[in-house]
Chain A
Amino acid sequence: MSALATYSAQFERYANALTAAERAPRSVQFSRFLDSGFPHKDLEDWRYSDLTALNERSFEPDVSASDDALPDLLLDGADTLVYVNGQVHPASTAARWHSDTCALPPPAVGIDALNAAFAAGGLRLRLDRGTRLERPLQVLFCSRSDGQPTMSHQRHLIELGDDAEAIVLLDFSGTGGERLSTHFFDIHLGRNAKLQLYRIQNEAAGGTLVTRIDARLSRDARLEGVTVDLGGGFVRHDLDLALAESGAETTIAGLYAHARQSHIDNHVRIVHAAPHGTSRMNYRGLVDEKTKAVFNGKVVVQPGAQKTDSEQRIANVLLSRKAEVNAKPDLEIYADDVKCAHGATVGQLDAVALSYLRSRGIDHDTARAMLLRAFALQILDRIEWPALRARVETALHLPAELTLDIDA
């Protein structure tokens, strides 16, 4: 069998069930995918992340809905929309934000085209002007794999009207063996709209997860994002933000930590297309054992985007000899009255601080955990949702007594 043959067979089966009108655009996407294949390291954006191994793999599409009991992942106080392997789960309390259908992009390439060819619907959160989501919305994507590897592909939409506000958690969690899932999110924020967007990823070691968020911010809109990667096999996350109108503001914080042998690739791109935009990007990585982390942060200031105020900070700590980090901050400025700062560091755990803590009686492992948490704290502090923060801290295996901040 030639490369990608199994995908062709799957697509044929999938497309046969569609109407001719549905099939045509998807066939275009699929042939584009066949032309490009999975992304490989010769592509600048995929230099450190090669997915060509998937060319020879075989994944069945998921068809059956699951009503299995859910792992203990639902957060108190939130409305929930739950997908298990791409299918809506009956535990969802916010099924009204689910849509069976989705809009397809213009003919794409690579993973984008693969996703578009197979894409099912997913989250469709639309808030009218001036409305506010009463409770945070937890969108849980559970990947489960036992037996034949499966794949699912979804496209999602978040659209906030002018002055609308929402808190949304995109929660990716996996158990079991090999699986492929892709998710594309389109986000539109109206004037003065505000979105707090969390993305937590804790896939299984056999999981391949490719996610992409495209967001467009109108005048004075605000997007506050926090993204945390805790596991996964191969994880690629693209975050592409366009500050399209004057006064838009975004603050993005990211943490990748605790993974043991994952490939975690974060690509963040912020485009300042209008004046008076503000962007803050702060990513921190604790890279341990055989994990390979890739971070690519890019800020583009387009002509006319005067008074742009932008800052990107990337800091990594390598915790093992076999761990690897490729961090690249990037800045392209085409306007002259702007304030832009960037910096990236890769270091090791502070041996002097470790020895200081031990000299006070604290054992090596606890002292190390305290310092890891200290490093991650800037990002953890950005999680303003207490139940979510507690879950992340637990996932990081930080001793509970050390995560309580005590006031004297």
Chain B
Amino acid sequence: MLEITNLHARVEEKEILKGLNLSIKPGEVHAIMGPNGAGKSTLSNVIAGREGYEVTDGSILFEGQDLLALDPEVRACAGIFLGFQYPVEIPGVSNMTLLKAAVNARRKHNGESEIAPNDFLTWVREQAKKVKIDPKMLSRGVNEGFSGGEKKRNEILQMLVLQPTVMILDETDSGLDIDALKIVSDGINALRGPARSTVLVTHYQRLLDYVQPDFVHVLARGRIVRSGGPELAKELEEKGYGWLEAA
């Protein structure tokens, strides 16, 4: 599904990723853990194609095609979704408008006609219920005046509406109380399936109690320094990252 080979990337003049390799197959859930500044967010942003990140070497193949050659919107239409660590507020663009534009952009990409307004409304309402977002909030500007938890739930809502093939969640668990964490995890689990892959970028073991990963990787100094099963996350929780960084 996603094949990352020898990825080097920098932000401004600083090299952050220094030869990262990662192979993700359909249906798998991979957790990327690691200390602050290790390059976790950079990895997410490079996959999504966010501006300001320069890939200096290596490649990312998505379903066999060169992902790095695609504009961010084309990546999204092809099925890549990044749940942001800090979702932006956009007053004046309502959540509904964003969702509709996004859904129709994707349909256009797939050569389909625009979604019928009623089908769209029904679909969005259904998904909003899953993440406990009041439909009234959807008429407001994107994330406008939303609490930290609401913003994260709104990211999950967008993901549920768009039904991506690869879900990348960048510290979606940070700043969430236990109820919100449960809602967010339920949203992610609802989308888990044999044709969909998930990358959970997280600092803590906590999220992984709710969304069971198949693989856990430790990212440090711009590389994957250790990979293992779910037990690795527990080990990290006990020992911290120091022992790996020293290694």
Q: What is A's interface to B at a CB cutoff of 8 Å?
A: 350-353, 355-364, 366-367, 370-371, 373-375, 377-378, 401-402, 405-408
Contacts and interface: CB of A to CB of B under 8 A. Distances in A.
A352 B85 CA distance: 13
Given A361-B76, A364-B73, A370 B101 contact: yes
Given A406-B121, A408-B138, A359 B97 contact: no
Q: Which has the most chain B C-beta neighbours within 10 Å: A357, A363, A364, A408?
A: A408
A351 B88 CA distance: 11
B96 A363 contact: no
A406 B138 CA distance: 9
A319 to B, nearest CB: 16
Given A351-B51, A363-B73, A373-B92, 17 more contacts: A350-B88, A350-B90, A353-B93, A358-B71, A359-B84, A361-B76, A361-B109, A362-B73, A362-B98, A362-B102, A363-B71, A366-B101, A370-B93, A375-B92, A406-B117, A407-B96, A408-B128
A408 B125 contact: yes
Chain B CB within 10 A, most for which of A359, A363, A374, A407: A359
A202 to B, nearest CB: 23
B181 interface: no
Contacts of B139: 405-408
B76 to A, nearest CB: 4
A330 B202 CA distance: 51
Nearest to A354: B51
Interface in B67-119: 71-73, 76-77, 82, 84, 87-88, 90-94, 96-98, 100-102, 104-106, 109, 114, 117
Given A364-B73, A366-B105, A408-B121, A374 B162 contact: no
Contact of A401 (B76, B104, B121, B158): B104
B161 to A, nearest CB: 10
Contact of B72 (A355, A370, A371): A355
Contacts of A356: 84, 87-88, 90, 142
A357 B71 CA distance: 12
B90 A353 contact: yes
A405 B84 CA distance: 25
Contacts of B128: 408
Given A405-B139, A407-B139, A361 B92 contact: no
Contacts of A375: 92
Contacts of B14: none
Nearest to B135: A408
A368 to B, nearest CB: 12
Contact of A361 (B51, B93, B106, B141): B106
B136 interface: yes
B124 interface: yes
A353 B144 CA distance: 12
**Interface residue SS majority, chain B:** helix
Contacts of A359: 48-50, 72-73, 76, 82, 84
A374 B73 contact: no
B96 A362 contact: no
B51 A360 contact: no
Contact of A374 (B76, B91, B106): B91
Given A405-B97, A408-B121, A360 B92 contact: no
Interface in B157-214: 158, 162
A353 B105 contact: no
28 contacts: A350-B90, A356-B87, A358-B71, A358-B73, A359-B72, A359-B73, A360-B76, A360-B98, A360-B101, A360-B102, A360-B105, A360-B158, A360-B162, A361-B106, A361-B162, A362-B73, A362-B105, A363-B71, A366-B105, A370-B97, A373-B92, A373-B93, A377-B92, A401-B104, A406-B97, A406-B121, A406-B139, A408-B128
A204 B105 CA distance: 35
B92 A401 contact: no
Nearest to B99: A360
A361 B76 CA distance: 5
B102 to A, nearest CB: 4
A401 B88 CA distance: 22
B105 A374 contact: no
Nearest to A404: B97
A135 to B, nearest CB: 31
A84 to B, nearest CB: 37
Contacts of B84: 356, 359
Nearest to A370: B93
A113 B19 CA distance: 75
A363 B105 contact: yes
Contacts of A373: 92-93
Contacts of A407: 96, 135, 139
Give the most central of A356, A363, A371: most B CB within 10 Å: A356
A374 B95 CA distance: 12
A374 B51 CA distance: 22
The interface centre, meaning the residue of A352, A362, A374 with most chain B CB atoms within 10 A of its CB, is A362
A371 B90 contact: yes
A405 B125 CA distance: 16
